[in-house]
A and B are shown apart, each in its own frame.
Chain A
């Protein structure tokens, strides 16, 4: 049963990776990153039940991951809003000031 959950998390992670790499809208990229973080949470909780040493630590770690992800999304959306005010676009391939 553990491998089913791990495969499910791998599918979610790869869908999120594809979205984060291929989408242009920065909000969609942020959502894809959330999808990848969710896949990691699923792995943590699955190992907490079926892992080599089953314990509650995996669930507690996933709680920490969820709170850090919430902070990350808040800061990410704030940066997007500030960038949209400054530039008028939200496409990730046009945010290249620091490269020039």
Chain B
């Protein structure tokens, strides 16, 4: 276990800034009552995660994150709310036992994960990956050489999923 000495590098400062944004957004998502406000705070979490990917030198993944999560999925959630939930206010649930059991389970899982993270020794056999240079080009090369079969399978999956979504959600013929 490392000591309490903190080296305030730029990465750590950026990490804490984005971590504060993400945790505040996630907690707000759980505590706000209007569903649209929840979606906005979830978008804050997605944007913060995109910033964290930039800190981790994964620029391509960061832009994909912003495009798909903060763009497409957030809009899709807003459409889902508009199509289903017109008053758009989350009622206060009248089941305190269920809430307490859920909270205890989540905190227990976090305790286990935190214990495992703190006690495991991660010893990299190589220096940290410097992926910042030509990140998108390297990812493209690997996608079309090593990972070409999963890549094509994902395209088939996306096509099937979107056609299926249209078929499920379209109005049935009278």
Contacts and interface: CB of A to CB of B under 8 A. Distances in A.
Interface in B49-92: 49, 52-53, 56-58, 60-61, 64-65, 68-69, 72-73, 76-77, 79-81, 83-85, 90-91
**Secondary structure of the A contact surface, majority rule:** helix
B86 to A, nearest CB: 10
A73 B73 contact: yes
Given A17-B105, A28-B38, A59 B65 contact: no
B59 to A, nearest CB: 10
B117 interface: yes
Contacts of B105: 17-18, 21
Contacts, number: 228
Contact of A52 (B19, B38, B122, B131): B122
For chain A, give the interface size range.
35 or more
Interface residues of B, number: 81
B161 A71 contact: yes
**Secondary structure of the B contact surface, majority rule:** helix
29 contacts: A4-B15, A5-B15, A12-B23, A21-B98, A22-B93, A22-B98, A27-B35, A28-B38, A28-B90, A31-B39, A31-B77, A34-B69, A38-B45, A45-B53, A48-B58, A48-B131, A49-B129, A50-B124, A51-B122, A52-B122, A52-B124, A56-B142, A60-B147, A66-B69, A67-B157, A70-B158, A74-B165, A77-B165, A82-B169
Interface of B: 11-12, 15, 19, 22-23, 26-27, 29-30, 35, 38-39, 42, 45-46, 49, 52-53, 56-58, 60-61, 64-65, 68-69, 72-73, 76-77, 79-81, 83-85, 90-91, 93, 98-99, 102-103, 105-107, 109-110, 113-114, 117-118, 122-129, 131, 135, 138-139, 142-143, 147, 150, 154, 157-158, 161-162, 164-166, 168-169, 171
